[in-house]
Amino acid sequence: MSARPPHDDAASEVEEDVAELGDPEASSPLPSGAIATHAVSAPGELIGGRGTSGEIWSLAWPVILSQVMASFVGLVDIAMVGRLGRDAVAAVGYVTQYLWLTQSILFAIGIACVALMSRAIGAGDPERARAAHAASIVVAFAIASVVTLVVLVGPGALLAVLEAEGAVVELGIPYMRLTLGSTLILSIAIVVESALRADKDTRTPMLIALVATVLKTGLNGILIFGLLGFPRLELVGAGLATVLSQVVAIGLFVVATLRRPRSSPVRIGVDDLRHSRTLLPEVVRISLPAVAERVVMNGAMMAYFVFIGTYGTAAIAAYTIGIRVLSFSWIPGVGFSTASSTLVGQALGARDPEGAARAGWRAVQMALGVSVILGGLFAAGRVPLAMLFTNDAGVIDELGPFMLVLALSQPFMGMHFTLGGALRGAGDTVTPLVAATVGNWALRVPIAFFCATVLETPVIWLWCALVFDHLARAIWLLSAFQRGRWKARLGT
């Protein structure tokens, strides 16, 4: 295990590639049915009792599968674009920075939608739930309209801000106009998917994610490489594949809502849009801390990566490979987070705070159990897994310890994912923001800075900073959930 090799040109090149692709730890996890583009199940009311293990699992497993498909689409995307050359990969990387920023804002609105709708549904007030759904669509569509206008008018200027080279800008402009120009479609899909989940329907988004995954993957191959007699469009083809799959996805979401009875909390009409004005401030209030949380996370990931880069190519490659391999092991935490968010919100709406607490604790227990098992499996198989992704002995030497440390962090990640979801379901988006700030900026980044620049320790000490980050977030959220102040939020 190397201590501090010089930061050579090769390391800089790898660092640029990874920075362009982003960090899965900082990427937004939901909703996957909408972002998988990048037959309808039974309504949520048919699911059984409140907060039982069976109900939590019924809500969680479709989300877990949807997240796996969304991750698969991301891997396929970059694998196909990678065949077009370094400039094409760089163009996608630069555009992705803006795409993730936009998605983070829209996901935050989805969080507000779930919090407001689940509370109203639990209170037996479908009219208020529809108004919350409509208000979330209005806010998301307004933000998406601004993004679309800016992207259509000045994509070159946006890429220039990131200091993209001329050849990369030329490739990136049409791709950016297609992917971010379709944000209007994405904004509606994200909110509708969030509304379905608030109504305990996680299977419809899963089925739509499946269709979007197959369609996006197939269109990528056809349009990027010119298969089946189609012209070879390369990066433009990747953008078109995104747009077309998003159009199909939003069509399926619309069909799913129209198949619900008019009294359903997710089926909105013109009257609901009029009534939504009173809830617009609530949507914004709940969304803002969630947006800030993503900013805090992404900033910390970038700073942490800078310190890793000082250890050379092997450390960078180990981080890049390890984080992507193990990202699949924390997907269950995302599923349990979704389940706890919906169940806590609905229980509070039904004026059953103790039931909400029981649902949250049960989801945490289940997430913890799954995380321990998966973390153990990844820890035990870290060397064979590393050898599947690289034959570089130096990278494997670094990757083994990194994957072990990250595997040890899995239980803490499962806990804070699920507890964060429970608090957001209660409308508390401030506490997860504070926890993320403490874990990242009071522990992870300072520890990495101190180890890399002052003590010049081996890189494994930077890996250990991850454990302190996730442990601190788990403890902070555990304490907040235990205190129970969240039970008084979002009074209806």
pLDDT at position 10, please? Answer: 40
The angle formed by the CA atoms of residues 60, 62 and 65, to the nearest 5 degrees, is 110
pLDDT score for 47 = 38
Q: How far is CA 445 from CA 11, 15, 323, 376, 405, in A?
A: 20, 18, 17, 26, 16
Q: Is 172 exposed, middle or buried (0-12, 13-18, 19+ CB in 10 A)?
A: buried
Q: How many domains does the chain have?
A: 1
In a domain, 4, yes or no: no
In a domain, 1, yes or no: no
Structure tokens at 95: 């555009």
Torsion angle defined by CA atoms of residues 243, 207, 143 and 199, in that order, rounded to the nearest 10 degrees: 170
pLDDT at 163: 75
Q: What is the pLDDT along the chain (492 residues), one digit of tens a residue?
A: 445 544 444 444 434 443 344 444 544 445 555 555 553 333 333 333 456 788 899 999 898 888 888 777 776 776 787 788 878 877 887 887 788 788 888 999 999 999 999 999 999 999 999 999 999 999 999 999 999 999 989 888 988 887 778 888 898 899 999 999 889 999 999 999 999 999 999 999 999 999 998 999 999 999 999 999 999 999 899 999 999 999 999 999 999 999 999 999 999 998 898 889 999 999 999 999 988 998 898 788 878 878 887 887 677 777 766 776 767 777 888 899 999 999 999 999 999 999 999 999 999 999 999 989 988 887 888 777 777 766 677 777 777 788 888 888 889 999 999 999 999 999 999 999 999 999 999 999 999 999 998 998 888 898 899 999 999 999 999 999 999 999 876 544
* Burial per residue of 120-149, b for 16 or more beta-carbon CB atoms within 10 angstroms, e otherwise: bbbbebbebbbbbbbbbbbbbbebbeebbe
Domain presence at residue 2: no
Residue 464 lies in a domain: yes
Assess if residue 3 is contained within a domain. Answer: no
Residue with tokens 């299977």: 203
| pLDDT at res. 389 | 63
Backbone phi, then psi, for 94, in 5-degree steps?
A: -65, -45
What does the DSSP assignment read for 282-336? HHHHHHHHHHHHHHHHHHHHHHHHHHHHTT-HHHHHHHHHHHHHHHTTSHHHHHH
- pLDDT given for residue 304 in this prediction: 86
Number of residues assigned to the chain = 492
Residue 139 has a pLDDT of 95
Q: Are 73 and 156 in contact (CB under 8 A)?
A: no
362 located within any domain: yes
Please give the residue range of the domain that contains residue 391.
Answer: 9-488
Cα–Cα dist 363/375, whole Å: 18
* Contact between residue 403 and residue 464 where contact means Cβ atoms under 8 Å apart: no
Q: What is the pLDDT of residue 391?
A: 67
Q: 331-349 and 353-380 helices cross at what angle (nearest 10)?
A: 180
Q: Provide the pLDDT for residue 32.
A: 53
